Amino acid sequence: MGEPMCRNLARKSGRSVVAWDPRRAPLDRLVADGVAAARSLEEVAGKAEIVFLSLPGEREIREVSSKLKNTVVDCSTAPVSLARELSQQFQFADAPVARTRQAAIDGTLSIMVGASDALFARIEPLLLCMASDVTHCGPPGAGQAVKLLNNMVLSVTVMALAEALAVAKASSAVDPRVLFETLMKGSADSFALRNHGMKALLPETHPENAFPVNYMIKDVGYALELARSAGLDLLGAGSTMELLTKTKEMGLGEAYHTAIIEAVRKRRAP
pLDDT digits (tens, 9 = 90+) for 14-65: 999 999 999 999 999 999 999 999 999 999 999 999 999 999 989 999 999 9
pLDDT beyond 90 at 195: yes
pLDDT beyond 90 at 12: yes
State the chain's maximal CA–CA distance in angstroms. Answer: 63
Pick the CATH number of 2-139 from 3.40.50.720, 1.10.10.10, 3.55.50.30, 3.40.50.300: 3.40.50.720
Model confidence at 101, pLDDT cuts 50, 70, 90, reads confident
What pLDDT, on a 0 to 100 scale, did the predictor assign at position 268? 86
What pLDDT, on a 0 to 100 scale, did the predictor assign at position 270? 82
**Average pLDDT, whole number, for the chain?**
96
What is the identity of the amino acid at 99? R
pLDDT beyond 90 at 126: yes
DSSP SS3 for 22: coil
What pLDDT, on a 0 to 100 scale, did the predictor assign at position 75? 98
| CA 264 to chain centroid | 23
Q: Are 129 and 107 in contact (CB under 8 A)?
A: yes
Among candidate residues 156, 111, 151, 115, the one with its CA nearest the CA of residue 135: 111
> Tell me, which fold does domain 146-266 have in CATH?
N-(1-d-carboxylethyl)-l-norvaline Dehydrogenase; domain 2 (1.10.1040)
Domain with CATH 3.40.50.720 in the chain: 2-139
Q: Are 2 and 56 in contact (CB under 8 A)?
A: no
What pLDDT, on a 0 to 100 scale, did the predictor assign at position 82? 97
pLDDT beyond 90 at 100: no
Domain with CATH 1.10.1040.10 in the chain: 146-266
Q: Are 241 and 253 in contact (CB under 8 A)?
A: no
pTM, two decimals, is: 0.91
What pLDDT, on a 0 to 100 scale, did the predictor assign at position 258? 98
What is the identity of the amino acid at 201? L
Span 180-196, mean pLDDT? Answer: 97
Span 209-237, mean pLDDT? Answer: 96
Tell me: the pLDDT tens digits for 259-270?
A: 999 999 999 888
pLDDT beyond 90 at 209: no
